[in-house]
């Protein structure tokens, strides 16, 4: 037996043994990838398709969940057949990696859909996110998927960016904690989980104008301290397996080809030892969009030189890298390094030892516990932003008019990269790649295009399995989300709210468009009711949507004619409860009639029941904002942890005449946000005491211990997120006015109190000094507790003593939190 097949050997030794046996073409095949579409429709021609398409093997089949359009049994059968070719018929028997997106769940039939990442962040409850990661990992692994392209570790501070819903919000510490939990859940101990891929390295979420893939203008200090920290923490604390590069450029060089970003910062500074993958089409983009390569082939050279070790979703340019090795333009050592990382991931995922997946004999692919978890996350993510006169929870016996495009269906509650949005993307991919002509719900163009896929050079090899084509088209039908929601048992807000309440419903208007024909009926229902619940906001996807990848906004206003509908209904004299959906922030102009607001983002298939439970008081809202909501788009960027001296709110700034003249802020709007980071109301009330330091001074290298108490002072059970904020009062470089340093969600009965102990390592307080040395310095550290970034106690001071210490490679990322009874 060859050593690399000996499972008793350590992985590094197995990798080296295999690497020396590989030809150049076999190595290049491992850093290439492909999409599974032609395999899905090959039918009886599958062996020939594999043999002719991948004679030297293949690194990975990406977006592989497409093969699970109909049910998990299909993807397992195809996966085993495909894997059998690579393991048993290629020279060295190197298995192929199956990977999928899986950001909000396994994105195919019968997979559990979870709420968006913004919802997860709004829970401020990392253990829930770890449980979700474990659930997604189990579902993916059970169909043969061993690597996922999640989580998103971008710090998203610009609400115009269409992918905000994929992020954990604007705060580095919150993103870091959620990211660590997510990765731990997905990967388990590697062999029992799936390999996680953190993305997008680096600065992808903060670009010119909030536009997707536009240039990033961030200095090296902020790039590391703010944007790289969640990646570094996931690598150091959760053993993150892979990193995906960003489409955006920094200082004139796209990140995937940027040696300073990928090879220096990621590899040398952070110390990442895993696999670096390209984003989809990022290599080709170097030629077609960025224009830094003369052709696609040269784009492959720039990609691997820059640090992208695998080209996705197809690897045509990487397969041609041999000519650059022959010419001396590419060092073979770089290819070997990339192949090592690819092979190490396959060994770690157990592919060499257990390449096949057991076929299921019964249903029950996703256990009921996963759906309950999705519902729990939705429930804990709902944020109560306003509740004038305690209009919520709704009083029994009230006649309710439910009006708005989101209230009567479930699909607008779904995040992107789930089954419906994901397969709409696949339709667009087929149209773009195969020349199909799609219009509305007509799929004949797709069928014609698929039928023209050539899987061989002779007539026999060009036959397509028509049944496979028909199945694919069925899976790509426009109502796939509706089908899934029915199977999931999802109920709309109307269906749920109408159970036990007097509720009438009308849409009023669409999410987008100018159709006002539903206004009259909406006004009539409102006039006949005691109260109006309006569901407004956006939706997510790649088409007919207000947000998503490549769906950015220049305005935070409500889309379509929704604002006009809101203003019209405000004229009826009825109180309005506003429920805001969508993949990001919307800031409608609020008439006085709006008495309460719920922010629900994209709560997933259990969203209708979660929102209804909050509205009726069956559940007490406990979500908190993971972002700052500005008053209008002119305030962007308006994140809470801005630097001192930027002209926004700063309670520590010295006030004088010069300051008021030259630094007075906006002339046409208030400097304060509409709602601050960390904010969220409850149906009960809480009191949080100021932090009490265990010692007035702590030596650098030691730990700071602070205590506080939280009490439920109201009449209902509820949960409060106790937040600890920090400020460096004596740094020689400008620092944030405050920054989140720790948090904990505490569940309390009426009258109950809990004592909280925050234990913060001084190694968590590092920053780049004026000499660009990452250090912790002696001086005064200020700490505050509260339930939002603006509702805080008076600061308490702790003196950090000793000499400045270097923290590079010795950082701490997590504040330990203990609860005393």
pLDDT for res 651? 66
Q: In this structure, what token pair is assigned to residue 768?
A: 């780049």
| DSSP helix/strand/coil, 737 | coil
CB 583 within 8 A of CB 547: yes
Average pLDDT over residues 359-371: 77
DSSP states along 476-527: T-TTHHHHHHHHHT---HHHHHTTTSEEEEE--S-SSS---TTHHHHHHHHH
Mean pLDDT on 115-126: 98
Neighbouring-strand partners of residue 535:
579
3-state secondary structure 406-438: CCCCCHHHCCCCCHHHHHHHHHHHHHHHHCCCC
User: Is a pLDDT exceeding 80 seen at residue 664?
Assistant: no
Residue of 31, 20, 81 whose CA lies nearest to 56 = 31
Render pLDDT for 123-167 as a digit per residue (tens, 0 to 9).
999 999 999 999 999 999 999 999 999 999 999 999 999 999 999
Provide the pLDDT for residue 440.
Answer: 35
Question: What is the tens place of the pLDDT at every residue in 8-62?
Answer: 999 999 999 999 999 999 999 999 999 888 888 788 889 999 999 999 999 999 9
Average pLDDT over residues 706-728: 97
CB 28 within 8 A of CB 62: no
CA–CA dist 627, 582 (Å, integer): 14
Over 60: is that where the pLDDT of 451 sits?
no
* Predicted pLDDT of residue 661: 61
Check residue 216 and report its DSSP letter. B
Residue 197 and residue 150 in contact, taking contact as beta carbons nearer than 8 Å: yes
Distance between CA atoms of residues 104 and 184, nearest Å: 15
Please choose, from the candidates 497, 495, 586, 576, the residue with its C-alpha nearest in 3D space to the C-alpha of residue 539.
Answer: 586
Taking residue 322's Cβ as centre, other Cβ atoms within 10 Å add up to 15
- Above 60 in pLDDT, residue 761? yes
User: 420 phi and psi, to 5 degrees?
Assistant: -70, -55
User: What residues does 745 pair with on adjacent strands?
Assistant: 721
3-state secondary structure at position 717: coil
Residue 462 binned pLDDT confidence (cut-offs 50, 70, 90): very low
Question: Is 435's pLDDT higher than 50?
Answer: no
Banded model confidence at residue 461, pLDDT cuts 50, 70, 90:
very low
Q: Is 143 left (phi over 0), alpha (psi -120 to 50) or beta?
A: alpha
199 vs 194: CA distance, rounded Å: 16
Locate all alpha helices (DSSP H) within 246-331, ordered by sequence.
Answer: 259, 282-288, 296-306, 322-327
- In this predicted structure, what is the pLDDT of residue 458? 45
Cα 185 to chain center, whole Å? 15
Average pLDDT, stretch 740-750? Answer: 98
Per-residue confidence (pLDDT) for residue 192, from 0 to 100: 80
SS3 87: helix
Only one residue has tokens 């009639």, namely 593
Residue 314: predicted pLDDT: 86
Q: How many CB atoms lie within 10 A of CB 682?
A: 19
SS3 596: strand
Measure the N-to-C terminal CA separation of the chain; round to a whole number of Å.
59
Given a cut of 50, whether residue 456 has pLDDT beyond it is no
Q: For the segment 596-623, what is each residue's pLDDT rounded down to a tens digit?
A: 999 999 999 999 999 999 999 999 999 9
pLDDT at residue 453 in the model: 44
Which residue(s) pair with 797 in the sheet? 782
Average pLDDT in the 526-555 region?
A: 92
Please tell me the distance from the alpha carbon of residue 272 to that of residue 244, in angstroms, as a whole number.
Answer: 12
Span 495-501, average pLDDT: 90
Neighbours of 341 (CB within 10 A): 22
Q: Are 603 and 621 in contact (CB under 8 A)?
A: no
- For residue 118, pLDDT over 90 is answered with yes
pLDDT over 70 (residue 439): no
Q: What is the pLDDT of residue 575?
A: 97
Spatial CB neighbours of 410, under 8 Å, sequence gap ≥ 6 = 481, 482, 485, 490, 491, 492, 605, 607, 608
Q: What is the pLDDT of residue 524?
A: 97
Query: Rounded mean pLDDT of 729-751?
Result: 96
Please tell me whether residue 488 adopts helix, strand or coil conformation.
Answer: helix
* Torsion angle (degrees, nearest 10) of CA 345, 348, 353, 357: -80
Report which of 43, 111, 109, 107 is spatially closest to residue 70, judged by C-alpha positions: 109
Alpha carbons 674 and 258: distance in angstroms, whole number? 38
Q: Evaluate whether 234 touches 240 at the Cβ level (below 8 Å).
A: yes
Confidence check: pLDDT of 64 > 70 = yes
CB atoms within 10 A of CB 752: 13
What does DSSP assign to residue 353? T
Q: Which segments of 188-257 does DSSP mark as H helices, in order?
A: 220-222, 229-238
Indicate if the pLDDT at residue 460 is higher than 60. no
Determine the average pLDDT of the residues in 79-86.
Answer: 97
Least confident of 33-42, 476-485, 674-683: 476-485
Helix ranges, 196-331 (H): 220-222, 229-238, 259, 282-288, 296-306, 322-327
pLDDT at 489: 80
Q: Provide the pLDDT for residue 358.
A: 87
Nearest to 42 by CA among 454, 564, 637: 454
Distance CA(65)–CA(146), nearest Å, equals 11
Instruction: Answer yes or no: is pLDDT of 229 > 70.
Output: yes
Instruction: Identify whether the C-beta of residue 760 lies closer than 8 Å to the C-beta of residue 647.
Output: no
**Main-chain dihedrals φ then ψ at residue 577, nearest 5 degrees:** -105, 120
Q: What pTM value is reported for the model?
A: 0.94
Over range 449-466, report the average pLDDT: 46
The predicted structure's pLDDT at residue 304: 97
Which range (394-398, 527-531, 649-653) has the least confidence? 649-653
Region of poorest pLDDT, from 238-242, 486-490, 491-495: 486-490
Q: pLDDT by residue (tens digit) across 263-292?
A: 999 999 999 999 999 999 999 999 999 999
Cα 205 to Cα 562: distance, rounded to the nearest angstrom: 27
DSSP class of 152: B
Query: What's the rounded Cα separation, in Å, for the pair 222 and 265?
Result: 13
Read off φ and ψ for residue 708, nearest 5 degrees: -150, 170
Q: How confident is the model at residue 377 (pLDDT cuts 50, 70, 90)?
A: very high
How far apart CA 131 and CA 135 sit, in angstroms, is 6
Using the CB atoms, write b or e for 284-311: b if 16+ within 10 Å. bbbbeebebbeeebbbbbbbbbbbbbbb
As a dihedral over the C-alpha atoms of residue 635, residue 641, residue 642, residue 644, rounded to 10 degrees, the angle is 130
| pLDDT exceeds 60 at position 463 | no
Question: 155, 170 in Cβ contact below 8 A?
Answer: yes
Range from 106-120, 246-260, 539-553, 574-588 carrying the lowest mean pLDDT: 539-553
Total residues found in the chain within this entry: 821
Is 28 in contact with 321 (CB distance < 8 Å)? yes
For the chain, give the mean pLDDT.
90
Beta carbons of 411 and 448 less than 8 angstroms apart: no
Closest listed residue to residue 435, CA positions, set 423, 448, 426: 448
Average pLDDT over residues 344-365: 85
Report the percentage of the chain scoring pLDDT > 90. 76
Q: Which helix (H) or strand (E) holds 745?
A: strand 739-748
Question: Comparing 114-118, 228-232, 313-317, 737-741, which segment has the lowest mean pLDDT?
Answer: 313-317
Q: Which helix (H) or strand (E) holds 493?
A: helix 493-497
Q: Is 419 exposed, middle or buried (0-12, 13-18, 19+ CB in 10 A)?
A: buried
Question: Could you tell me the CA-to-CA distances from 147 to 19, 311, 365, 459 in Å, in that order?
Answer: 21, 15, 19, 36
Q: CA-CA distance, 686 to 747, in Å (whole number)?
A: 11
pLDDT of residue 471: 61
Burial of 664 (0-12, 13-18, 19+ CB in 10 A): exposed
Among all chains, which residue has been given the structure tokens 């090795």? 325
Amino acid 442: pLDDT:
35
Q: Which residues pair with 710 in a beta bridge?
A: 688, 754
């Amino acid at each position: 037996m060859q050593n690399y097949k000996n499972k008793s050997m350590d992985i590094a030794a197995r990798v080296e043994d295999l690497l020396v046996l590989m030809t150049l073409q076999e190595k290049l095949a491992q850093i290439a990838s492909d999409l599974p579409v032609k395999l899905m429709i090959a039918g009886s021609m599958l062996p020939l398709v594999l043999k002719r398409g991948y004679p030297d093997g293949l690194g990975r089949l990406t977006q592989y969940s497409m093969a699970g359009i109909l049910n998990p049994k299909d993807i397992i059968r195809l996966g085993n057949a495909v894997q059998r070719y690579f393991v048993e018929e290629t020279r060295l028997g190197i298995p192929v990696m199956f990977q999928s997106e899986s950001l909000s769940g396994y994105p195919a039939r019968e997979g559990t859909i979870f709420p968006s990442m913004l919802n997860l962040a709004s829970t401020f409850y990392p253990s829930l996110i770890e449980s979700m990661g474990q659930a997604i990992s189990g579902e993916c692994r059970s169909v043969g998927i061993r690597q996922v392209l999640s989580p998103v570790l971008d710090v998203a501070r610009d609400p115009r960016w269409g992918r905000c819903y994929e992020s954990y919000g604007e705060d580095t510490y919150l993103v870091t904690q959620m990211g660590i939990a997510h990765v731990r859940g997905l990967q388990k101990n590697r062999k029992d989980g799936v390999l996680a891929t953190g993305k997008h390295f680096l600065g992808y979420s903060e670009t010119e104008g909030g536009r997707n893939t536009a240039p990033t203008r961030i200095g090296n200090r902020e790039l590391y301290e703010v944007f790289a920290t969640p990646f570094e923490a996931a690598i150091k604390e959760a053993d993150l397996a892979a990193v995906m590069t960003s489409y955006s450029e920094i200082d004139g060089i796209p990140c995937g080809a940027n040696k300073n970003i990928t090879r220096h910062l990621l590899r040398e500074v952070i110390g990442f030892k895993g696999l670096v993958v390209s984003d989809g089409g990022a290599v080709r983009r170097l030629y077609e969009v960025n224009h830094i390569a003369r052709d696609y082939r040269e784009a492959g050279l720039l990609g691997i030189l820059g640090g992208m070790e695998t080209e996705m979703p197809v690897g045509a340019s990487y397969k041609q890298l041999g000519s650059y090795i022959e010419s001396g333009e590419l060092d073979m050592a770089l290819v070997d390094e990339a192949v090592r990382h690819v092979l190490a991931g396959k060994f770690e995922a157990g592919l060499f030892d257990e390449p096949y997946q057991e076929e299921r004999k019964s249903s029950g692919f996703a256990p009921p516990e996963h759906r309950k978890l999705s519902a729990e996350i939705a429930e804990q993510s709902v944020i109560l932003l306003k509740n004038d006169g305690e209009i919520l929870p709704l009083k029994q016996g009230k006649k309710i008019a439910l009006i708005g495009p989101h209230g009567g269906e479930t699909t607008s509650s779904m995040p992107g990269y789930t089954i419906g949005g994901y397969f709409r993307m696949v339709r667009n991919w087929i149209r773009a790649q195969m020349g199909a002509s799609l219009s509305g719900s007509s799929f004949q163009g797709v069928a014609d295009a698929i039928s023209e896929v050539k899987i061989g050079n002779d007539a026999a090899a060009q036959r397509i399995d028509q049944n496979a084509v028909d199945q694919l088209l069925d899976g790509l039908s426009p109502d796939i989300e509706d089908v899934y929601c029915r199977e999931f048992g999802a109920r709309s807000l109307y269906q749920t709210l109408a159970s036990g309440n007097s509720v009438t419903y009308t849409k009023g208007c669409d999410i987008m468009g100018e159709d006002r024909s539903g206004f009259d009926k909406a006004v009539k229902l409102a006039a006949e009711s005691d109260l109006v619940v309006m569901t407004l906001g956006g939706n997510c996807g790649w088409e007919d949507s207000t947000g998503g990848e490549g769906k950015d906004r220049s305005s935070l206003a409500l889309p379509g004619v929704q604002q006009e509908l809101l203003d019209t209904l405000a004229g009826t004299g009825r109180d309005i409860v506003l429920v805001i959906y969508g993949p990001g922030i919307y800031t409608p102009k609020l008439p006085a009639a709006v008495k309460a607001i719920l922010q629900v983002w994209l709560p997933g298939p259990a969203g209708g029941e979660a929102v209804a439970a909050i509205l009726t008081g069956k559940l007490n809202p406990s979500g908190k904002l993971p972002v700052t909501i500005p008053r209008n788009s002119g305030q962007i960027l308006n994140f809470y942890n801005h630097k001192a001296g930027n002209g926004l709110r700063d309670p520590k700034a010295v006030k004088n005449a010069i300051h008021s003249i030259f630094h007075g802020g906006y002339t046409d709007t208030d400097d304060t946000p509409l709602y601050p980071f960390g904010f969220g109301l409850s149906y009960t009330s809480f009191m949080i005491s100021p932090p009490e330091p265990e010692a007035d001074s702590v030596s650098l290298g030691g730990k700071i211990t602070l205590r506080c108490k939280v009490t439920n002072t109201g009449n209902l059970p509820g949960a409060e997120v106790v937040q600890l904020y920090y400020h460096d009062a004596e740094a020689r470089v400008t620092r944030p006015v405050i920054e989140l340093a720790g948090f904990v969600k505490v569940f309390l009965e009426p009258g109950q109190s809990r004592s909280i102990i925050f234990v913060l390592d001084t190694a968590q307080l590092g920053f780049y000094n004026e000499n660009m040395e990452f250090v912790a310095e002696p001086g005064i550290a200020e700490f505050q507790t509260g339930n939002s970034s603006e509702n805080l106690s008076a600061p308490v001071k702790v003196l950090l003593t000793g000499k400045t210490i270097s923290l590079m490679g010795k950082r701490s990322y997590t504040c330990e939190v203990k609860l005393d009874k």
